[in-house]
Chain A
Amino acid sequence: MELNWSTFLLEILNFLILLWILKRFLYQPVLDTIANRQAGIEQTLANAQTIKTDAEALQSQYESRLKQWNEERDTARETLRREMAEERERQMLNLQEALAQEKEKARVIDEKERFDTLRKYQEASLELGARFTARLLTHLAGQDLEIRLFDLALRQLDTLPVDRLNAIRMACEETPEEAEVATAFPLKPAHRQQLAEKLSSLLDMPVNCHFVEDSELLAGLCITLGPWVFHANLQAELKSFAESAHEPN
């Protein structure tokens, strides 16, 4: 066993060459590859971290927006509930008002119906009463009643208003004609004379009277002078009584 200097030196040289070969073809490429892979992994991790950060930001934003939406929804729901309550209140008031109007209308209609019914009953009663009275007076009418009606006619002639008398007078002056006096029973001459004088004194002009009998008058008289007709008989009174049922109250 002895040291071979050639081997010693060549081995030193060999190792240095091997060192260079492995560094050039093994260590450096492998380390570069690992570094690249590590850089890629770190880049991926950084990207993932960025994505995670963005996702968290988005999540936070979405949660904030969701919270805002919930608040807006609650506010809108509260507003809607309040508006619905107000609308319901308004509708209830309108309904109550309409109901009151309907009630009033129904009350008015009912009252009108009752009034019409009452009026119809009144008319029927008056007509019935008029027929009954006419039939009764047909049997009761006589000379005595005729005389009392004659006296009543004379008193009513005395109470005629002046302007009415002037109008009758003017009509007689324009078309002078005789007065037609219809009576249910024949008038006595004295009464005929009294009536003619009464008319002449009222109209301040001579008035010729033409006396006729009309049994339909039942009792009393009817004076027709031009356009003026003066009734003082039962038929006219009963007719007036029956027509009064149709007059408005």
Chain B
Amino acid sequence: MGNDLNSAQLFAIGQIQVTLTVATTWGIMALLGLLSWISTRKSRTHPSYLQTAVEGIVSSIEAAIANAAPQHSKTLLPFIGTLWVYLALANLIGLVPGLDSPTRDISQTSALAILLFFSVHWFGIRSQGLKNYLRHYLTPSPILLPFHLISEATRTIALAIRLFGNMMSLEMAALLVLMVAGFLAPVPLLMLHVIEALVQAYIFGMLALIYVAGGMQSQDLHQQKEVDKENS
């Protein structure tokens, strides 16, 4: 674990700097891609243990999404599921000696947050169209438009800072305890790291789900009200 708040640069391709965070992410991508290919290359109706585990994970993610957005679980599964799976692995990768969690890099968490920011609008517009989606910023009153905009910005920043702060502080605390108390002392802290890593991944993914589902279902509610008004 490094003690620098900025990730170390490994090499550069012109103006593009490849840091340890990016390299770790590539490793995670490779690992997840390989596991996915292995677990699904011989899918059968009567599954193996690995296939059963993978199907259980995917089904659980889909069920969690369906609880928040029942009508859009299939649509949101790739994005939200990838967030959960990637963040869980990225948070836990810091436990491997010599590696840092990519999520302790503000650049990485900011990238995820900005992706989520655009995803909320993307899914909302794709679900109901641009005009209907933008209309929800004016409801229930146009006066609330600034507050909507502030909310969009602050929650995105909060997502990035929350994940970064938690993971960075967690690794920093573990490093300090290790330096002060010796080799075996930070083991309980590392166990706490596991829990914290999973919790932070869950929180980030769940908030992302709620934001995206909120953007989609706000239009659903608005349309449902209009339909009820026409019927009455």
Binding site for B on A (CB under 8 A): 1-12, 14-19, 21-23, 25-27, 29-34, 36-37, 40
Contact = CB atoms under 8 A, between A and B. Distances in A.
Nearest to A29: B40
Judged by DSSP, the binding face of B is helix
A197 B142 CA distance: 189
B7 A15 contact: no
Contact of B111 (A2, A8, A27, A40): A8
A8 B106 CA distance: 9
A33 B43 contact: yes
A30 B111 contact: no
B78 A7 contact: no
A31 B17 contact: no
21 contacts: A1-B106, A4-B6, A4-B7, A4-B19, A4-B107, A7-B17, A8-B111, A8-B114, A10-B22, A11-B21, A11-B111, A12-B111, A12-B115, A14-B22, A17-B29, A21-B32, A22-B85, A26-B58, A30-B58, A31-B74, A33-B45
Contacts of A31: 58, 62, 74, 77
Judged by DSSP, the binding face of A is helix
Contacts of B7: 4, 7
Contacts of A34: 55, 58-59
B181 interface: no
B215 interface: no
A22 B111 contact: no
B13 to A, nearest CB: 9
Interface string B11-32: 0100111110110011011001
Contacts of A40: 45
Interface in B32-82: 32-33, 36-37, 39-40, 43-45, 47, 51, 54-55, 58-59, 62, 74, 77-79, 81-82
Contact of A10 (B5, B16, B44): B16
A136 B228 CA distance: 155
Given A7-B108, A15-B112, A34-B59, A26 B54 contact: yes
Given A9-B111, A10-B22, A22-B33, 20 more contacts: A4-B19, A4-B107, A7-B22, A11-B21, A11-B112, A14-B25, A22-B32, A22-B82, A23-B78, A23-B82, A26-B32, A26-B54, A27-B81, A29-B40, A30-B55, A31-B58, A31-B62, A32-B43, A36-B45, A40-B45
Contacts of A22: 32-33, 36, 78, 81-82, 85
B47 to A, nearest CB: 8
A243 to B, nearest CB: 125
Nearest to A1: B5
B110 interface: yes
Interface in B129-184: none
B86 interface: yes
A37 B59 CA distance: 13
A27 B74 CA distance: 10
Contacts of B115: 12, 15-16
B29 A7 contact: no
Given A22-B85, A26-B40, A34-B55, A6 B18 contact: yes
A186 to B, nearest CB: 154
Given A7-B22, A14-B26, A30 B54 contact: yes
A167 B190 CA distance: 174
A4 B15 CA distance: 11
Contacts of B78: 19, 22-23, 27
A28 to B, nearest CB: 8
A59 B32 CA distance: 56
